[in-house]
Structure 1
Amino acid sequence: MADEYQSEEDEFKTPLPLQKSKKKITENHHEDGAIDIKVKRISEKPDRISPIVAYFSSGYNPCAQSEEDVVESPKVTVYKHKAEAKKRLQVVVSPPGANVEFVGTNYSGEAAARQTCMYSLGVLDKETQTLRILPIAYNKIIRLEPRVKGSETVESEDSDSDKVITKDRMAKLNRSFGTKDAINRDKKRHALNLGDDPEAKELLESKLNKVDVKTSALESTSSIVARNIPPYDASATTPEEVYPIEKIIGKGEYNFLQDIHRLLEQGTEAVTDAYPVFVRNRLDMLRDIQDETEKETMSVVLSFITHLVKFNDLNQMNGYESAKDHKFPGIIRQKCESLFKDSDVKKMHDEKRALLISYVVALTLHVDKFKTNPADIAKDLRISDVNIRKHFENLGCKISRGKSGSLATLPVPLQFPQAMRKKRKR
């Protein structure tokens, strides 16, 4: 990859300091082993890809080999997004003869966080006494994660039957390198395959006969699965556990949601109109919280609500001007793009917007201790009071009327509204 830059490099010579000596030394070599080198700095070109630096998080060593056997080098493939503006790269390293490959990108995971350093790669050729300095592709260091290939069986190059990786081998690899969801799927698939064994089938049927399945329970389950809402726990015994904050905001995202907490620490009283009305109306409540952990958590929640509201504005005509200059942390913007937009379209679909509003509604319940007036957040989301009440009800809230307006509360155990069926006219 570095050879592609040879015709574009600017060459200059930087000799290292020489030590005075009366002894005869060879040309460009000194008595103490120092050499004169030519430093060639190669600039990045838009029509050529720069070198990529990737490392294995699992400890896999692609160069490891025994004294007897010479291990074949793994296959390295680099994929680039066809749109030049996106500048997305994916690196795939496939060890020979294995059903596991290592995948890393420059747009997800730790690579999506803000980059504060610039990196370069130096390659020293002792024969030509040349040091070439090349830029790293998009200044990214890519972390390679193990992934199990999706095929059930993988044949070797010579296609011998004794070299086919069986499903049992696939399951072992999956247990070692697969995700938690993949491991659970294998367990369920294994349980279903027991039906081929007569004894296992008889045992499975005896267990199924003991299960009392109610039609009403199945109907309620199917309606819950279809709901367009944040992660929840239907068996929660307290309102705080129904829509857990840690399921909505990852711990790794807390460091990028500290703007409101810093305002409180600095004692800043003035907050610009860039923050939503809901957030500005809760700052006094936030200052009165004595527990520092709770105060920081609520500050993070209010900051995330701000980004969700601005992302909603950014994707609708009547709110674009108020959000076009909003600064999203890279990891937060990527999360919003993946959760609330389809990658193949620019416009946010109605069901994705409804999901975003449900996320906002769930977080406002945490801020107001699960008793909140929906009026100000409805104004921030640019929807009517009637529509915001529907979103609260869809999350299992009860709406009541008081002197100060509507009040949404979240009772437990969680109960979702039942779909109303129209009666047929006779």
Structure 2
Amino acid sequence: MAASCSVVCCGHEEDSDKAAIFRFSNGNVLNAEKLDFTMYTSADKVNPRKKSRRILVAESDRLSYVGQNFGTGGLKCNTLCNYYVGVLNKETMQMELHRAQLFNLQPIIPGEKTAVCDQAKTETYREKVDSLIEAFGTNKQKKALSSRRLNHVDHRTLHQAVGKAASAVIDEKGLHALQQEVAEMESEADFARHLPPCDPHADTPENVYPLDELLGPVDFKALEEAGSKMAALTAEELQTMRESRGLASVLKHLENPPSTAEGRQKMARCAFYLSLLLKLSRQKNVNRKFGVEEGCPRIVQNKLFRKFTVETFTNGRVQNMVSTSMRVKLATYCLALLLHMGDMTADLTLLHQDMGLTEAKIIEVAKSMGLTLAKPPRGKKAVTGLQEEHKRASLVLPLVKHDTYGERRKRKRMH
């Protein structure tokens, strides 16, 4: 009978130094025992993208072979699959499994890279043309060549000058202030790239910004439990939410639910998702526990991180941050969701208060979405309270094309 053996896993999943599988790009090795192998690891143990970098070196009497698992020389299969090597101990009949990585070893010839670089440097097309102009060019071409050489600035000198100027500006204003200015300029430059999927030629207003693109069917189904809890809130609990959190846009629709049971469930799920978007817009650095206390499903949380945050590397780890441009994107999605919740009409005043943005920026977002702005009556005071003074936006077909501020021209008065 064949002897039985058992399998034993050795090491942790993150340990990639146990085994290395390599191949030679220029042939096969007959005597592998004559090669000296050395594994080099990255000295940066903090950066999660660099600490797993490895370089394998095989040295022989004639040549040296080098392979790496990153950059252009690394194999892409290492990022797509996990490879394991089994080593059978014939005495204990146990097979140990070690995690391995694949390396493609290429020969390194001393002086070859320098020679290729020198040859490429001396045989550029520009230098060939310049040498021809110097030998056979006209006087006009020679003057142009000499003028171009006089105006030529060395790249190193230019980079040093730019670096000194940038350092002086950073020392004067501060890095954080400069990053804020750049982010604000990028967010104000173009609102169209942050809009949700839009069909301007739709036959009904509900299909211009489809609800399935804002809250997909899978996410809508995953919010069943959270929506049921929100639909079951009492008047006292809603009042407590108003005093503590201040999500007036959400509470407005929860206090006036639809008459049908299906409509109330739909409204409750959309209100819960809207509350997550509003809370996310008021944060800067978002941790992985966002929305867990409120009962947010994992699939919805991952969608929020992927769609409305940017990854930054801070203090040795990757963090999710809500930038200024992402805050504008959140405003467009909140406004589109409010249109579906309020019969294609949204309250812009409540939205800018909940998000902490200025009213002018919310109006610019509504204009970029092609909405019709409701003009408040002039010369009349509100009779039924402050609600009459709120600015509203409605989705009416065809969409309105608002003129930007920069395209307006004042006409001169004729005297």
Place the TM-score, normalised by the shorter chain, in its bin.
0.3 to 0.5
Provide the TM-score with structure 2 as the length reference: 0.46
Higher relative helix content: 2
Greater RCO (CA < 8 Å, at least 6 residues apart):
2
Provide the TM-score with structure 1 as the length reference: 0.45
